[in-house]
Structure 1
Amino acid sequence: MRDVLVYSESYKAWSPGVEYAARLATAFDAHLTGIWICPSPSAAIPAFEAPDLLALLFETTRQLEDEAFAAGPSFVDCVHKLGVHKASWQVAEGYVPDTLALASRYHDLLVIDRSNETAWGSLSAVGNIVMGSGMPCLIVPPGQLNLPALDTVAIAWNGSAEALHAVHAALPLLARALRVVILHGEQQQPMSMLSWRPPFDLASYLLRHGIASESKRLNEGNEDIGAALLTAAGRAGATLLVMGAYGHTRFSEWVLGGATRSVLEQATIPVLMLH
């Protein structure tokens, strides 16, 4: 994990997500790139002709982007004070989820704040980023949080491909954790060829990577699986939850609920997600 990208919603003040990303980059001696994205003025162009309004929109956009570019030294200075030795600053223009999904592919990890204050920061938009990037996304909850000491990392495990992808992406973090707890949920079974499925034991896999772990059975009952995951992670004292995203279709996850949505709504600790 040598190249971390963090999205900053503001170029005038740095969010908890920026601090979290800086501490994480320091721990891995990684390069940290900060990015601010200006909404494209073309998205606000009215259907009727309004040349004066259009000119104003483009002029406002240019001013914002000039201010954002000028904030680069402030970002670099901020993260340097937090221990980051290699940092850079980028400014882009476009729809935030789409632009972040693209930019994240050029890095090892994307760190974003979960924000309820902007339209793009809605849960569906965060979901678009996780789905669209195909890269590990570390989502930092609002408010106060534990910085990445990685004392205890919990893994949401149901045997799915999404969960295994998330574990692969989290290996550098798991290797640094003092304690790893596997939260076992209901194992997903493929629709066909059940007898031909090769066996897999996550604890043994982690041990081959030098990572000792312990397992706890998730008592789901009739409780929402996402809430059950967060309760179990809290009881384990986890400071980070690793999980796959969208075990079902994306449509059913957002319309009907699902663990992904519940965790994004309720998590008070950072969550590393990967689809």
Structure 2
Amino acid sequence: MKDVLVYANSLSAWTPAMIWAAQIASTLRGGLTGVYVCPSPAVGYAAPYGGIDIAASLIASIRKVEEEAYAVHAQFERRAAEYGVRSAQWQVAEGHVPQILQHLGNWHDLLVIDRGNEAPWTAPWEVGNLVLTTRMPTLVVPPGAPQRQSLDCVAIAWNGSPEALRALHAARGLLAQARRIVVLRGTRGDPYSEIGWRPVFSLETYLARQAFSVELIDIESADGDIGATLLDAAAQHDADLLVMGAYGRSRFSEWAFGGATHHILHHSAIPVMMRR
């Protein structure tokens, strides 16, 4: 995990996601890329009455924002260096945020984004869209997260799903920094229940091979609200970070009926690393 990407939704201040991204890049001795995405005049614009004048004004406004965004690069690199980042760069793009981040994800290992309710693309449902679209390991930092990154305890949500396995695999760099790792094991499906079953993954063998010392804790949700159960268990063990697979069911199913990803995106008080 050497190339960390952070989506900057503000030009005036460093958000919790930017702070966490810089500390992770510094801890892992990797590089940090910050990106600010300007809206494209071609996205979502339909010319009303007097459309030519309004379009010209809109384009001029966007160009001003772009100039302001480019001017931030020295400040971003200087602030990243204060956190110990050895290599930092600032990118400015124009277009649709999910597509821009998906493109940058081709050469980055981790995306870090804020979760809030005010800035663009930080509402829980928009964050979920970014996780799905980019298909990157994504660290979601909630409002009020501690400014100083702490990995005294990392909790892993484990149910044997491909999403959980991909999240675990992607998080190895962060897990190696943790003083304590707690695996919260939920109900697992029977790998032999279908014809032509897949090779069985041994969690214990994999963790031992990575030289991770972990605590295995079985959890069960009596009312079926696994998201709340996971957050309660993580809080009980004073976890600073939760690692989990995202959208084990369809996105529509999560939206319509609720689910672990849906609940955690709305309610987690600690950063969550997700992987689809």
- TM-score range for the pair, normalised by the shorter chain length: over 0.9
Equivalent residue number for residue 258 of structure 2: 257
Equivalent residue number for residue 179 of structure 1: 180
Q: Distance in 1 between matches of 2:44 and 2:201?
A: 51
Task: Note if contact 1:184-1:215 (Cα within 8 Å) is conserved in structure 2.
Answer: yes
Q: Distance in 1 between matches of 2:8 and 2:27?
A: 20
In the TM superposition, 1:33-182 aligns within 5 A as 33-48=33-48, 50-145=51-146, 147-182=148-183
After alignment, is 202-211 or 240-249 more displaced?
Answer: 202-211
Q: Distance in 2 between matches of 1:61 and 1:199?
A: 52
Query: Structure 1 residues 271 and 194, CA, compared in 2 at 3 Å: closer, same or farther?
Result: farther
After alignment, is 145-154 or 33-42 more displaced?
Answer: 145-154
Task: Note if contact 2:167-2:273 (Cα within 8 Å) is conserved in structure 1.
Answer: yes
Q: Distance in 2 between matches of 1:151 and 1:212?
A: 13
Structure 2 letter corresponding to 1:182: V
Q: TM-score, normalised by structure 1?
A: 0.94
After alignment, is 164-173 or 181-190 more displaced?
Answer: 181-190
| Unpaired runs of at least 5, structure 1 | none
Task: Note if contact 1:241-1:271 (Cα within 8 Å) is conserved in structure 2.
Answer: yes
Equivalent residue number for residue 3 of structure 1: 3
Q: How far does residue 120 in structure 1 lie from its aligned partner after superposition?
A: 2.7
Q: How far does residue 102 in structure 1 lie from its aligned partner after superposition?
A: 2.4
Equivalent residue number for residue 13 of structure 1: 13
Q: Distance in 2 between matches of 1:257 and 1:201?
A: 29
Q: Distance in 1 between matches of 2:38 and 2:177?
A: 36
Structure 1 letter corresponding to 2:33: T
Q: How far does residue 17 in structure 1 lie from its aligned partner after superposition?
A: 0.9
Task: Note if contact 2:145-2:271 (Cα within 8 Å) is conserved in structure 1.
Answer: no
Q: Distance in 2 between matches of 1:171 and 1:210?
A: 11
Q: Secondary structure at the match of 2:11?
A: coil
Q: Distance in 2 between matches of 1:130 and 1:149?
A: 23
Equivalent residue number for residue 212 of structure 2: 211
Q: Is 1:234 the counterpart of 2:235 in the alignment?
A: yes
Q: How much identity, in percent, do the aligned residues show?
A: 48
Q: Distance in 2 between matches of 1:153 and 1:133?
A: 24
Structure 2 letter corresponding to 1:68: A
Q: How far does residue 118 in structure 1 lie from its aligned partner after superposition?
A: 3.4
Q: Distance in 2 between matches of 1:72 and 1:118?
A: 20
Q: Note the aligned Cα RMSD (angstroms).
A: 1.7
How many pairs were matched up? 275
Deviation track 1:43-84 (CA, whole Å, cap 9, x = no partner) reads 242244600000001111111001100010011111111111
Task: Note if contact 2:153-2:238 (Cα within 8 Å) is conserved in structure 1.
Answer: yes
Q: Distance in 1 between matches of 2:73 and 2:196?
A: 56
List structure 1 runs of 4+ shifted beyond 4 angstroms.
Answer: 194-197
Task: Note if contact 1:105-1:133 (Cα within 8 Å) is conserved in structure 2.
Answer: no
Query: Structure 1 residues 146 and 93, CA, compared in 2 at 3 Å: closer, same or farther?
Result: same
Structure 2 letter corresponding to 1:118: A
Q: Distance in 2 between matches of 1:194 and 1:177?
A: 39
Structure 1 letter corresponding to 2:10: S
Query: Structure 1 residues 144 and 273, CA, compared in 2 at 3 Å: closer, same or farther?
Result: closer
After alignment, is 140-149 or 105-114 more displaced?
Answer: 140-149
After alignment, is 112-121 or 62-71 more displaced?
Answer: 112-121
Q: Distance in 1 between matches of 2:82 and 2:179?
A: 26
Deviation track 1:133-171 (CA, whole Å, cap 9, x = no partner) reads 121000000123263331111100000000000011011
After alignment, is 47-56 or 115-124 more displaced?
Answer: 115-124
